[in-house]
């Protein structure tokens, strides 16, 4: 929920106040950069972040608050990333799935049963996962990243990707199935 100070800044920014816009989005910039980094890779993340903020500034007068500001910005980021990937036709390997700097596979794994030699296997698996993620379509990769890395709900994902919740569920199901298939081909049974 947006605080009163944020609402005031948003209103001023919608009226054309660039300083209010800069103040409002300075705190959100790391979130957008992280999403951009995961969608298009390190080399293009900064450029995509700047593109998102330009598009957000241009579209801000039309923002009606039907979704949260965060969801609206994810939607802009997602669309800009899709456009970027189409223009460049480059499929870069995204970084490992992480949450708060901790690889997801570590979050899922039972640390009590970790053996020292498993650290090497984990790094190897992360490489396989990254390679498999890079081979997924942008829509499937984005669905996985928004859900498991950014922690968005199905409703937030649907709003960000401008699709129905059913489409989100379908994309996640198919993305997980394709990711598993790619990993099975590359490393054997998963």
pLDDT in tens, 73-129: 888 998 888 888 877 764 444 555 555 555 555 544 445 544 444 544 555 666 777
pLDDT at site 91: 45
pLDDT in tens, 21-35: 888 888 888 989 988
Pick the range with the lowest mean pLDDT from 54-63, 147-156, 159-168. Answer: 147-156
Residue 4 has pLDDT above 50, yes or no: yes
SS3 102: strand
Q: How many CB atoms lie within 10 A of CB 189?
A: 6
CATH 1.10.1740.10 range(s) for the chain read 1-92
| Residue whose structure tokens are 């209103």 | 11
pLDDT at site 151: 82
CATH 1.10.10.10 range(s) for the chain read 102-190
Sign of CA dihedral 174, 175, 177, 178: positive
- The CATH number that domain 102-190 falls under is 1.10.10.10
The fold of 1-92 is Rna Polymerase Sigma Factor; Chain: A (1.10.1740)
Q: Say if CB 32 and CB 52 are below 8 A apart.
A: yes
pLDDT at site 99: 55
pLDDT in tens, 144-156: 888 887 788 888 8
């Amino acid at each position: 929920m947006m605080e009163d100070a944020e609402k005031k800044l948003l209103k001023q920014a919608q009226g054309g106040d660039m300083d209010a816009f800069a103040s409002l989005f300075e705190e959100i910039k790391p979130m957008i950069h992280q999403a951009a980094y995961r969608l298009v890779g390190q080399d293009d993340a900064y450029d995509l972040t700047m593109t998102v903020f330009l598009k957000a500034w241009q579209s801000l007068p039309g923002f009606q608050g039907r979704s949260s500001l965060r969801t609206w910005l994810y939607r802009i980021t997602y669309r800009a990333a899709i456009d970027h990937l189409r223009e460049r036709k480059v499929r870069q390997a995204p970084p490992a799935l992480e949450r708060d700097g901790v690889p997801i596979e570590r979050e899922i794994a039972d640390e009590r049963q970790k053996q020292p030699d498993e650290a090497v296997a984990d790094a190897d698996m992360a490489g396989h996962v990254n390679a498999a993620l890079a081979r997924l379509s942008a829509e499937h990769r984005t669905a996985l990243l928004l859900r498991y890395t950014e922690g968005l709900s199905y409703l937030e994902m649907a709003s960000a990707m401008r699709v129905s919740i059913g489409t989100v569920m379908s994309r996640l199901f198919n993305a997980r199935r394709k990711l598993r298939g790619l990993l099975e081909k590359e490393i054997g049974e998963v």
